[in-house]
Structure 1
Amino acid sequence: MKGPPTPLVEELSRLGYTLMRLLLSRAKEIFAQEGVSLLQAEVLRLVREGVQLPSRLAEQLEVLPSQVSHLLASLEEAGLLERHPDPQDRRRVLLRLTPKGEAVHKRLQEAWLHAYGQHLARLSPKELLLFRDLLRKLTEVEGG
């Protein structure tokens, strides 16, 4: 299958990058209002979704384990996250959000969805569905 023409690929690349930067910038603003960085917010989301091991966080975030340790320490210090020994293997620790961490995660989620929704409001209902379908197609894993 022949790909799209190079000038179109270049334009889509620029537009995709611009959209990504706009959304990341907005996310940073929203998360800063709660006193958390983009990475800290992602840790809260991942732990909330069931990632309990620091090593798994490092994999998901694509960072070094030492970076995860610093992130966890800052979130623990802020009272957003707790580390507990794994009852199955006392050498490992399990992560869990504190009630304060749950509340912060919920506020971050609501603020982000509101901001992203405002951005998407530029599209008509038909365009929104098309955009969703195109994103699904573009984010499918090859061969899966």
Structure 2
Amino acid sequence: MELLEGTAAPPNAQAHDASLTEATASQLLSGLWSVIHAVKRHLGPALLREHGLEFKDFLALDTIGGGTNYPSLMCQRLNLTPSNGSRLIEDLVGSGLIERRLDAQDARRVQLILTTRGQEVLAATSQTLLKLLKGSLGDLSDTQVATFVQTLETLSTALGSPTPPQEIAP
């Protein structure tokens, strides 16, 4: 069973083949589509309105702030092509939210560093998203939220989006 083109099925896929029906697969994809578009419809415009930041910019800042501070690792983590990643980095540099620095250990490598303004914007947008998510997920128990997060991580890995190891922030 191949999940996505170029992605091998996990070793235990045989055990799960029987329970995954076309109807279940359709429900899964429909649910993912709904979540993605709800984020685009609600969270994205709120970030743009309140902070002048697009959702993709927030994700990049959050990734860089979390320690993934090399362009290739950021692209891998966010599933961006090098070209799209380069444009995103250029936009963030141009906005004064990040800067490029030569790696102290290897001058051939460039690190991405949040500027003071980038740290402030990331903190403010994180608070806005947390507030919106608490409002949206407020009826769910802590256990349900934890299960949902674990399920998303499992799906991401199963569908071929491994999270790279984080680099040490300078």
Same fold (TM over 0.5): yes
Q: Which amino acid aligns with 1:23?
A: V
Give 1:80 shift: 0.7
Q: Aligned residues, how many?
A: 139
Distance 2:131 2:38 in 1: 15
For structure 2, which runs of at least 5 residues remain unmatched after alignment? 1-14, 159-170
Q: In 1, distance between residues paired with 2:46 and 2:124?
A: 10
Please name the residue that 1:14 is paired with.
30
The aligned runs of 1:87-126 (5 Å cut-off) are 87-123=104-140, 125=141
Aligned identity (percent) is 22
Does 2:162 match 1:139? Answer: no
Residue 4 of structure 1, CA deviation: 5.5
Structure 1 gap ranges (5+) = none
Query: Can you list the C-alpha shifts for 1:68-95, whole angstroms capped at 9, x where unaligned?
Result: 2221111111111111111222222111
8 Å CA contact retained: 1:75, 1:81: yes
TM-score w.r.t. the length of structure 2 is 0.70
Cα offsets for 1:24-77 (capped at 9, x unmatched): 322211221222222211110111001111111121122222222221111111
2:44 alignment counterpart:
28
Q: Which residue of 1 aligns with 2:78?
A: 61
Q: Report if aligned partners of 1:54, 1:94 keep a CA contact under 8 Å in 2.
A: yes
TM norm structure 1 = 0.81
Whichever residue aligns with residue 112 of structure 2, its letter is L
User: Quick one: distance in 1 between partners of 2:139 and 2:86?
Assistant: 40
1:75 aligned residue (87, 92, 107) = 92
- Between 1 and 2, higher relative CO (CA 8 Å, sep ≥ 6) is seen in 2
Change (3 A) 1:11 1:91: closer
| Kept after mapping to 2: 8 A contact 1:47/1:95 | yes
Q: Deviations over 1:97-124 (max 9, x none)?
A: 011000000011000010011001233x
Contact kept in structure 2, 1:30 and 1:108, CA below 8 Å: no
Q: Which runs of 4+ in 1 moved over 6 A?
A: none
Cα RMSD, aligned residues only: 2.2
- Among 55, 60, 72, which residue is 1:38 paired with? 55
CA distance in 2, matches of 1:135, 1:100: 29
What's the secondary structure of 2:139's corresponding residue? coil
Alpha-carbon distance in structure 1 between the residues aligned to 2:112 and 2:93: 10
